[in-house]
Structure 1
Amino acid sequence: MSRPRKSPDASPPAPPRRYGISGPISEDQPSEDQLILTEQLIKTLATCDAFVDDLELRRRENAVEQLESLFKEWLTEICKELNIPDHVTEKVGGKIFTFGSRHLGVDSKGDDVDALCVGPRFIQRNDFFTSFFEKLRVQKEVKDIRTIQSTCVPVITMSYEGIKIDLLFASVDCNSIPQNLDLSNSLLKNSSVTCIRSLNGYRVTEEILRSVPNVQSFKLVLRAIKLWAKRRNIYSSMLGFLGGVSWAILVARICQVYPNATASTLVNKFFKVYSMWKWPVPIELKRPEDYNMNLPVWDSRINPSDRCHVMPIITPTYPQQNTAFNVSLSTLAVWTEEIQWGLAVTQDIQENKADWLELFQEPDFLNKYQHFILLHASSAAGKQHLEWVGLVESKIRLLVENLERHVYVKRAHINPQSTSGSSRLCAKDDQSTKWLIGLLFNMGESKRQKIDMTFPLMSFTDTIYSLADSCKVYKEGMTISARYLAKDQLCWKVPNRTGRMQSSRDKKASAAHRSSRPAAPSADPRHPKRRRSPQPEVSSKRVRSCEEATEGPRSESAGVSISAGPSEGVSPLSTKRPEPEATSRRVKLELVCRSYPRKVYISTDIFHI
């Protein structure tokens, strides 16, 4: 019997699509146990409020729709002011694109909504941040509105009917903005670098979704990693950790190399892969593309400044940028420790020795370090305080970098959880916000060493006042202070999950709330020395801050004995509990109080260890 002849039009089946810059590590299908663990993960995320209900989603959608209506109305008004022809004005349109967590479909309770306002070529950025800002400010639904223009991507932040929204702006090379506008590479032509950065927020989000083999698994894993990062206090691009887009790229890369894995396996592989990653080898979702637009792109082979980045996580769209450029040696060290800790927990979960809730427990920051810098910003209530805190918080990473330069400082760890409230010893209406930085010293064999913190603290406060003056943010009553405190001097109040405030002096480590498992060893990756920009020359103008009882006792004389940790002043992750209390030794501390022409108060600049 003769074989049937194949049709000449028949073609071999297309090979399966490959994702990423390399082939998969494993294409194994999930087992029954792994599927069960995924179901357990979903239930745990639900109990931790990692999902948003349909009613809240609709509220957010309505807020964006109303803002888009206001934006279109404003564009029409601007066209009339500029005497734009009527036929252009009638079709000017306008569009708001959501991006980030909202567009990825992984937003959780309390998340901001990131939105991009796109206008035609003749709309100036300055008009958006002045004229449209004023239009928004008078809306009754808008509260706590302010502009932040001193960043790489200028933004309007506000609360719209109780929903926190960040608005970006970009103009594109066309006269009208239709509802079906495609933000393709062609629209980047003739756009400013600032507009391109704003456009890439949405474009990167879209490309990430196209870069993963299973979108639903990607979303579930990203929800879990985001919750873990927030609980472990390492979710903040502004403060030198990682922001939402960096976490999304890291998770997407794991999904690429394990295309068939279920969510529970992907979470474990996330910690396993990145616990072994050799930074600064970059994370990339696709090969870089060049569209010959002469735009600056991240490339450590060509750009010397890019070689100084300690944790490159590269966007998948042109022009490629490092989303983790704010990461410092200290924040990378903290990140690495947390990854090791997460690996130990997820390994136990895979072996049914722990449940998912343990992965999301909070660290004990106050018991981890023995030495701290207390940063305190205060001002009059209301809008002034929002602007002042926004400026200070956006530059705290500069203080961390200043501290890292100190010869004896091994790590400066900023806690993203700040505390706010009224100041008891200041004026009745004054508002106060504080941040805490844990210090780890590298003393070597030295038993006693004189450490002078005057320069990094002075340099930071000088920079803040100089920026406030140049940006015309400074108002009478705004103060900033930075001071050293030992652990037993500290009285730090932090909110727990129920919202009740807990004092560091009353808070004790409880073994009943900690897991007993061996933690992974702390990594000590090799990093290139980060290039530092020279300190700007600024005036010595400063403002004396109000002293508060919650800052603990102040010592005015030398020779104060305090309790500190062993040699390094930090408790490493233990084999029996995640963050144990440190054993103590006696350290001699010498406090020096100084006053300056504009009366900033920096105490304990010099001390002995």
Structure 2
Amino acid sequence: MACPVEAEAAPDMPKKYGITSPISEDLPEEADLNRTKTLTETLKSYNIFEDELELQNREKTLKKLELLYKEWLKEISEEMNVPEFVSENIGGRIIPFGSYHLGVQLKGSDIDVLCVGPGYLQRNDFFTSFYEKLKAQEEVKKIRAIKQAFVPVIKLSYDGIEIDLIFARVQLKRIPQNLDLLDDKVLKNIDIHCARSFNGYRVTEEILCLVPNVFNFRLTLRFIKLWAKRRKIYSNMLGFLGGVSWAILVARICQAYPNATASTLVIKFFKIYSMWEWPIPIRLRVVEDCQYNLPFWDPKVNLSDRRHLMPIITPVYPQQNTSFNVSPSTFAILQEEIDRGHVIAEEIKKNNANWSKLFETPNFFEKYKYVLSYLKMTI
């Protein structure tokens, strides 16, 4: 199954890019284009874009890793006495996902990579045999295997580029290059670790399929990611929002304003989410439960899902809430920051402020003066 395409709308009906019709299909005016130009210049001033040489180095590194991975697949298949006609044509794929696949990676950021293998391999083979092969490479430094993580991963540095490798099997003897990983059938009869590993790629690929203009989506997401990092609210582990949550939030605004430029999308982002009535979930499309016995976010069925404060739902089966770590305290901070963003964005729209004002970093000791007072008392 390739990227899903919406059914063609009747001539008098607006086209749907998500679960609802667009809020506005207005084309940008000159003021919007000018604001987008200054937005882009502001982003460049923070030195977040990689140059062509850095991008080429990343592509070369991925190609080298893919050659190593395919070589290993052939070697271990031969060790397992797999028929020669299978081992000689085993294929195998290495696929980047996350920020790199979305095209919004920041300078110096790591690359998340999915390694797809045949069903007769064991997960432990990847974390032992392939791990040792990687470790023996001169270009590989700081390698470590984290098998007990929610998504088991091999972390390493290859030629100075940080890489996270995860592994998933499909119920096939050979892995063709044209294997459609968006087809829900690839998840049938696989274990939970493989399902979680597939999830990262499937979500990022689906997001790209569901936005009306990828260029505008990427520029807007770069802006929102930098804003969230500067305002200290970019962290799933700390109870805020991680990269996939911000991507889904931005993608939904792109669906609502399919012809808008990045500057308008940023302004609408803050306006819409300052008014959003949580816990109404953010969704990019309706996802049906395939009944493959995989965890599926559904507050009508699962009591624990009803307690989620800020549900931001992945657009693939099995749908999950990407913001399950949000707590009452972090939820309040997120709302406060979005409200602040809305006020500043409206000032920018009126030409009374510039984009860099959104990126001003908070002063922890001013914002949390009562914590400071408490610390003074206890020292």
Shift of 1:14: 8.9
Report which of the two has the higher share of strand: 1
Kindly provide the CA deviation profile for residues 72-123 of structure 1, in whole angstroms up to 9, marking residues without a partner as x. Answer: 1111121122111111111112110111111111112022111100000011
Alignment of structure 1 residues 259-298 onto 2, 5 Å: 259-298=258-297
Report the CA distance between 1:347 and its aligned residue.
1.1
> Which of 50, 55, 73 is equivalent to 1:52?
50
The aligned counterpart of 2:111 is 113
| Residue 28 (structure 1) shift | 2.2
Kindly indicate whether the alpha-carbon contact (under 8 Å) linking 2:15 and 2:22 is maintained by their aligned counterparts in 1. no
Q: Does 1:203 align with 2:202?
A: yes
Residue correspondence of structure 1 range 573-592 to structure 2 within 5 A = 589=377
User: For the residues of structure 1 that align with 2:61 and 2:180, how far apart are their CA atoms?
Assistant: 23
- Identity across matched positions, percent: 59
- Equivalence map 1:95-134=2 (5 Å): 95-134=93-132
Q: Tell me the SS of whatever aligns to 1:169.
A: strand
Equivalence for 1:135: 133
| CA shift digits 1:500-549 (9 cap, x unpaired) | xxxxxxxxxxxxxxxxxxxxxxxxxxxxxxxxxxxxxxxxxxxxxxxxxx
Change beyond 3 A, Cα 1:13–1:257? closer
- For the Cα contact (< 8 Å) 2:90–2:175, is it kept in 1? yes
Superposition map of 1:185-584 within 5 A: 185-370=184-369, 486=372, 562=376
CA distance in 2 between counterparts of 1:17 and 1:50 reads: 35
2:14 and 2:21 in contact (8 A); partners too: no
Shift, 1:22, TM fit: 1.5
Q: Distance in 2 between matches of 1:201 and 1:158?
A: 19
Structure 1 position 367, deviation (Å): 2.4
Residues 37-76 of structure 1 show CA distances to partners (whole Å, capped at 9, x for unaligned) of 0011111111112322111111111111111111111111
* Distance in 2 between residues matched to 1:273 and 1:213, nearest whole Å: 18
Please give the alpha-carbon distance, in whole angstroms, between the structure 2 residues aligned to 1:281 and 1:326: 16
Find the residue that maps to 2:346 and give its secondary structure: helix
Give the CA deviation at 1:201: 1.0
Question: Structure 2 length as normaliser, TM-score?
Answer: 0.93
Partner Cα separation in structure 2 for residue 366 and residue 143 of structure 1: 38
Q: 1:80 aligns with which of 75, 78, 81?
A: 78
Moved over 3 A (4+): 12-16, 486-489
Flag the structure with more relative contact order, 1 or 2, with Cα contacts below 8 A and sequence separation at least 6: 2
Gaps (5+ residues) in structure 1? 1-11, 372-438, 440-485, 490-561, 563-588, 592-609
Q: Name the CA distance, whole Å, in 1 between partners of 2:166 and 2:203.
A: 15
Superposition pairs for residues 20-35 of structure 1, below 5 Å?
Answer: 20-35=18-33
Larger Rg: 1
Aligned to 1:70: 68
* SS of aligned partner of 2:293: coil
Q: 2-side partners of 1:326 and 1:144: how far apart?
A: 29
Q: What whole-Å deviation, never above 9, does each CA across 1:118-143 have from its counterpart, x for those lacking one?
A: 00001111111122112212222112
Residues 484-509 of structure 1: CA distance to partner in whole angstroms, max 9, x if unpaired? Answer: xx4596xxxxxxxxxxxxxxxxxxxx
CA change 1:98–1:590 in 2 (3 A) is: closer
Q: Which amino acid aligns with 2:86?
A: V
Secondary structure class of the residue paired with 2:357: helix
Q: In proportion to residue count, which structure has more helix?
A: 2
CA drift at 1:16:
5.1
Structure 2 counterpart of 1:336, which letter? Q
Task: Give 1:170 deviation, angstroms.
Answer: 0.2
CA distance in 1, matches of 2:201, 2:37: 31
Partners of 1:84 and 1:160 in 2: CA distance: 30
The more displaced of 313-322 and 12-21 is 12-21
Q: 1:72 and 1:487, CA in 2 relative to 1: closer, same or farther beyond 3 A?
A: farther
